[in-house]
Amino acid sequence: MAPEKEFVKAITPQSEDFSRWYIDTITKADLMDYAPVRGCIVFKPDGYELWEAIQQDLDRRFKATGHRNAYFPLFIPESFLEKEKEHVEGFNPELPWVTEVGGEKLEERLAVRPTSETVIGYMYSQWIQSYRDLPLLINQWANVVRWEKRTLPFLRTSEFLWQEGHTAHATEEEAREETRKMLDVYTEFVESTLCIPVIKGQKTPSEKFPGAVATYSIESMMKDGKALQAGTSHYLGENFARSFDIQFLDKDNERKFAHTTSWGMSTRILGALIMVHGDDRGLQLPPKIAPTQVIVIPIGPAKTRERVLAAANELMSALQNANVRVKMDARVDLSPGWKFNEYELRGIPLRLELGPRDLDAGQAMLARRDTGAKLTVPLADVATQIVALLDDIQSSMYERALAFQKEHSKRAQSIDELATIVRQERGFALAGWCGNDACEALVKEKTGSTSRNIPFDPPAHIDHCVACGHPAQHTVWYARAY
């Protein structure tokens, strides 16, 4: 059997075992490796380059909305966590503690950062004195630790990377506006850059962030029909301000508590990127986020190599001048077929093949990763055609993902119908909810699904609660989730 067929055969088909497909894909594509510490992974260069690209895009968006970066300690005193009881109770099962240093027991335990609301709240209490100090808009790029019982690379690991924004405002109106604005920033980024359609909405009280007044989320659908929370934004009210005494002197010369927010997106978004677009041949990367957008593969016998390489380098320069991220694989010890399959596995959006016959005909061959379509392009037009093709691939990938989401999103009038949608048909179910926590818990117990959010713009309104039949106060998306 040829090497290229062996290489692709190593990936389990999605229809056979989606979880196995996921692990096969991220390991064969060289995105990560398992660390010697339970639940932790190593980001290999190909995986970390994707996170860097996400970082750069989001960081630009944050700064455009007035936020600045800072960095806060990894270790948090236990007394800080105890000041916000609901917050610490929400994280307590996952908290790792530092209790001893240099053989001596610490006077106070230190939590290894699960999130930074408490330590940032303390610092804000030192920095904010007057209304002139507001709003305070800060973001942090950091790692956090949550000792997960069940782990899955990128999606749920004991240590992961993320950004967490923390802001303080003079009024509730300003703070709530911030939470919705940052949710919109996430939405625009995920949909326009990652080509992942999302559902925006508010979490139910049982699903909101510990210590928050309100939590808003964007939810995405994976190819196995499960949901993945792609980003969250929290209005914290005065809860953390009161716990940490974040007060300011207002214009009316009265002391008031600040209204705070927090919002975050983590490396689990890489898992979403992989599971929304990947297929049985491996990754599919949207052009805007792909570290390499075009791979150039020179082909042909050794006697034509010098001529082909010279032409390939000219095309490389033209593409670089057009701001296309391009690389060449000129290795002679691997067949073109093996290379084609390798770069399909790695998800590179476009492949450019160039051989002596192509040069004789004054053309190059292009192959799209998303559709597999091949087309010949005149050498003089390669750069302009590729720029247009990358734009088309970007929009096509979003539309395909959106069509999949719509096809697998249905209304449920009963718990049995909801169970069928999320378990057998593998999708999202839109159902009514009376607002009672017991009904929400019953749906989870009977169907294995959780409420994802109460969408801002539901596609339909269902007038009765799916659990008890009483009038519905909300229309909710339910799904099995990662």
Percent of the residues in the chain that have a pLDDT greater than 70, as a whole number: 97
Residue 232 lies in a domain: yes
- Rg (the chain; Cα; Å): 25
Query: How many structural domains does the chain have?
Result: 3
- 380 and 418: one domain? no
For the four alpha carbons of 280, 23, 54 and 58, in that order, the dihedral sign comes to: positive
Domain that residue 458 falls in = 409-479
Q: What is the CATH number of the domain that holds 451?
A: 3.30.110.30
- 337 and 367: one domain? yes
pLDDT in tens, 447-463: 999 999 999 999 998 99
How much is the pLDDT for 409?
Answer: 98
- 237 and 302: one domain? no
What is the length of the chain?
A: 482
How much is the pLDDT for 4?
Answer: 45
CB 246 within 8 A of CB 258: yes
- 471 and 340: one domain? no
What residues form DSSP beta bridges with 410? 429
Q: Which of 360, 389, 418 is the last residue of a domain?
A: 389
Q: Which of 327, 359, 389 is the last residue of a domain?
A: 389
- 168 and 200: one domain? yes
pTM of the model: 0.95
Residue 211 lies in a domain: yes
Residue 90 banded pLDDT, cuts 50, 70, 90: low
Please name the residues in contact with 188: beta carbons below 8 A apart, sequence gap of 6 or more: 61
Residue 394 lies in a domain: no
- 56 and 88: one domain? yes
HSE value, Cβ hemisphere, 13 Å, CA-based, for 28: 26
Q: What is the CATH number of the domain that holds 56?
A: 3.30.930.10
Residue 84 banded pLDDT, cuts 50, 70, 90: confident
Alpha-carbon span 351 to 375, nearest angstrom: 11
- 62 and 160: one domain? yes
Q: What is the CATH number of the domain that holds 304?
A: 3.40.50.800
What's the rounded mean pLDDT across residues 285-307? 97
How much is the pLDDT for 87?
Answer: 66
Task: Classify residue 192 by burial, with Cβ atoms within 10 Å: 0-12, 13-18, 19+.
Answer: middle
Residue 435 lies in a domain: yes
Q: Which of 389, 419, 441 is the last residue of a domain?
A: 389
**CA-based nearest residue to 478, from 219, 196, 198, 270:** 219
How much is the pLDDT for 10?
Answer: 80
Q: What is the mean pLDDT of the chain?
A: 95
pLDDT in tens, 413-434: 999 999 999 999 999 999 999 9
- 268 and 331: one domain? no
What's the rounded mean pLDDT across residues 247-275? 97
Alpha-carbon span 182 to 65, nearest angstrom: 9
Residue 59 lies in a domain: yes
- 78 and 169: one domain? yes
- 189 and 333: one domain? no
**Token pair listed for 16:** 């056979």
CB 377 within 8 A of CB 368: no
What's the rounded mean pLDDT across residues 108-135? 96
Helices (H), 331-475: 336-345, 356-361, 382-407, 415-419, 437-447
Alpha-carbon span 300 to 365, nearest angstrom: 13
CA of 282: how far to CAs of 1, 14, 175, 188, 277, in Å?
20, 10, 42, 26, 9
Q: At what angle do helices 268-277 and 382-407 cross, to 10 degrees?
A: 90
Residue 397 lies in a domain: no
Q: Is the pLDDT of residue 5 over 50?
A: no
- 214 and 91: one domain? yes
